A = this chain, B = another copy of it.
Amino acid sequence: MDFLTIIGIVMGFGLLGASIAGGGGFGLFIDVPSMMIVGGGTIAVFLMNFTIPDLKALMPVFLRTFMFKLATPAEEITRVVEYATLARKEGLLALESRLKEVDDVFMAKGIQLVIDGFPSEVVRDIMELEAEWQGQRHAIGKKMMDQLGGYAPAFGMIGTLVGLIQMLAALDDPASIGGGMAVALLTTLYGAMAANMMFLPLSGKLEIRAKEEALLRALMIEGIVAIQSGDGPQLIKEKLKTFLAPSARQSIAA
């Protein structure tokens, strides 16, 4: 799983937990009905907003974003150059022997298309369409996180209003004000935490990942089309290096 995300989660919740523990214990901050209003309400509205196919499409996006590590552009360039060398020496069909070692489904599909002998524009068209579909799935995932990040604080506020109204209506005993307000404010806290420590950072991460993946896909498309058109490995390497930030270019041996 993504390393920085884990550090961030541990650090964020750790600091908050320490502050809470130091201020009198966790018991005060756990209230199941409050959690049900914020958590359940947010999920309920989320279900109203999206459709089952959207939700199905979301899972692989999340898995890929947080569980599997994307190859770096530098690694992919090395791999493309290696295949280009092989294809030059032994012909495009020789790539078939390497197909099994390719983890990335997108890359594998592109190589398969080349082996199957499709013309260059068809290979490019199919792969670009595939890349666009991946981009759209990321965009939907980001949109979902943004919506959740907006609904969670709203339900936090709704819960606090409910709590306040109940407390105010039963204001016979002034001594109970404090406790009632503390509980009423819990939902606002839950909503703010859910939005700012979960949904919005995940939305940001998905956006960045989508950009990285789009760059990688564009690099792969250029690489595969170049292999197919018989470009020399050295030329291909130079071409693909333009996809790298200048500071990252040294990491590829000349």
Contacts and interface: CB of A to CB of B under 8 A. Distances in A.
A71 B195 CA distance: 35
A44 B158 contact: no
A208 B51 contact: yes
A86 interface: no
A130 interface: yes
A116 interface: no
A72 to B, nearest CB: 8
A162 B60 CA distance: 36
- Most chain B beta carbons < 10 A, residue from A37, A157, A165: A165
Contacts of A204: 48-50, 147
A202 interface: yes
Given A11-B43, A168-B178, A245-B133, A162 B196 contact: no
Interface in A145-164: 147, 151, 154-155, 157-159, 161-164
B24 A170 contact: yes
A19 interface: yes
Interface in A166-187: 166-171, 175, 177-179, 181-182, 185-186
This chain's copy number in the assembly: 5
B162 A23 contact: yes
Interface string A182-224: 1001101100110111001110110010001000000000000
Contacts of A185: 161, 164-165, 168
Given A7-B44, A151-B200, 13 more contacts: A4-B51, A4-B52, A11-B44, A15-B37, A16-B37, A19-B33, A22-B33, A24-B170, A29-B162, A57-B245, A60-B247, A158-B196, A161-B185
A249 B200 CA distance: 32
Given A22-B33, A47-B8, A161-B192, A169 B28 contact: yes
A47 B196 contact: no
Interface of A: 2-5, 7-9, 11-12, 15-16, 18-20, 22-24, 28-29, 33, 36-37, 40-41, 43-54, 57, 60, 129-130, 133, 137, 147, 151, 154-155, 157-159, 161-171, 175, 177-179, 181-182, 185-186, 188-189, 192-193, 195-197, 200-202, 204-205, 208, 212, 242, 245-248
Contacts of A41: 12, 15-16, 197
A196 B40 CA distance: 13
B23 A166 contact: yes
